[in-house]
Amino acid sequence: MQASDFSRQVLVVDDEPVVRTGIAQVLSQQDLVVATAADAAQALAHLARQPFAVVLLDIKLPDMDGVQLLKHLRQDFPETEVIMITGYPTIAGAVECIKLGALDYLVKPFRIEELEAVVQKARDHLSQKRRRIAPEPEAAGGLGLDFILGQSPAMRRVFDKIKRAAPSDSTVLLTGESGTGKELVARAIHLLSPRADREFVPVDCSALVESLLESELFGHVKGSFTGALQTKHGLFELANHGTFFFDEISNLSLNIQAKLLRVIQEREFMQVGSQKRIKLDIRIIASSNRDLNEAIKAGAFREDLYYRLSVIPIHLPPLRERAGDIALLVDHFLRKYSQKGHREVTGTSSQALKLLSDYGWPGNVRELEHTVERIVILEDGAIIQPEHLPSFISQRQGDFQAFSDENYSLEELEKRYIQFILRRTQGRRQEAARILGINRKTLSHKIEKYRLRTHW
């Protein structure tokens, strides 16, 4: 696929060849890039390779009910607008599809004007969603991005940096533990930037196979290696004129790091197997939950690349350092999952909220969201009570008891206290070392010496 504006990408899913071909011909004349699929499996394969702004989806498919595929699209591809197609219209069917998140409904046979109008409506709706201004003052510090919540001083500092970073083209390095919302911040920067109507292309560097990574990023020409049966355009080309997000960039090999450095410096790249240089106009944002300075010392990350990436560094605080935001987040997730599960869970008791606020949340906001979701699904009652909470929150270990009737040696006390801190930090050695006032190497030595547990 040639690199192009996300809003021009359309997927047609219909088991009738004449319908697929007809729609593709009409929309291609509207300067849209159209892909087609004869069934749900082909559609999902297309979606796994690239995002689509609009999907025209037939309700009757040979391998899956179109309504089931609609549910999947709404869950996994929330930015995609879906238009349902059917030759057997019913009021109940139309209402169900709209309730499930379809934007509109076309009945076969339809006129060209109807098709063009509904696709344009979908593109306009998508554009409005990307630019919408959220009225909630607590959302993103008033930035108008309702998917980042926080009122704490730590988060207000993050919001201020987002606001300052967004208008520029400078590279941004997001740091913070897993689950703190680094991809949400990357999307916020993109949506507030002059590139907001262009592609935002996220790549999880920990999920890509190293042997395929270069081809995925740069693309390849036909015959460049065994299995390269046709020319493939890479993710950099897809992101051209938009924003490229490297999630967990510390997982890139030194070889790919070197090539990425050249891309940043020269703003051009070559496909695998090609000598032709392709000009590139992208904004790069990267994230890492690993201390990149430690990775540099270990020889696992290039120092020159680090300085190229960290022009604007933004650190996302862990949830335990913004406990004042927990009530706000719990209320948000309660509304979200109560609506999805058709439940009436309206609030949290003061005792339960205190337990939630006192817990360390090693998985951060992501762990809190999953906890609330689990409570809404599995527990009864309109108000969350302490007994509804997971046992690891409601029955937490108490404070460390340094003394008792037994006489412990200083070494035994040290062993017990280090084990207590490791349990409190859920085995996170960097955090435990900070609390203990020792470096990580010393902590690792003591863990080995005392044979301490580090996983929960």
For 224-257, b/e burial (b = at least 16 CB within 10 A) is: beeeeeeebbbbbbbbbebbbbbbbbbbbeeebb
305 and 182 within one domain: yes
Whether the predicted pLDDT of 285 surpasses 80: yes
Q: What is the mean pLDDT of the chain?
A: 82
Residues 219 and 176 in one domain: yes
SS3 string, 361-390, reads CCCHHHHHHHHHHHHHHHCCCCEECHHHCC
Considering the domain architecture, whether residues 153 and 300 belong to the same structural domain is answered as yes
pLDDT band at 408 (very low <50, low <70, confident <90, very high): low
Domain that holds residue 378: 319-394
What's the total number of domains in the chain? 4
My answer on whether 303 and 158 are in the same domain is yes
User: For the domain that residue 10 is a member of, what is the CATH number?
Assistant: 3.40.50.2300
Task: Check which CATH number belongs to the domain holding 430 and give it.
Answer: 1.10.10
50 and 21 within one domain:
yes
Same domain, yes or no, for 309 and 337?
Answer: no
In a domain, residue 139? The reply is no
Residue 176 confidence class, pLDDT cut points 50, 70, 90: very high
Same domain assignment for residues 124 and 186: no
Select from 259, 280, 315 the last residue of a domain: 315
Position 428 in a domain: yes
pLDDT tens readout for residues 335-365 = 888 888 777 888 899 889 988 988 888 889 9
Angle between helices 350-358 and 326-341 (to 10 degrees): 110
pLDDT in tens, 224-271: 666 666 767 778 888 888 999 999 999 898 988 998 998 888 888 777
Answer yes or no: is 439 within a domain: yes
Say whether both 203 and 311 belong to one domain: yes
Judgement on whether residues 101 and 227 belong to the same structural domain of the protein: no
Co-location of 162 and 242 in the same domain: yes
Q: What is the mean pLDDT of residues 165-187?
A: 93
Q: Are residues 359 and 338 in the same domain?
A: yes
75 lies in the same domain as 153:
no
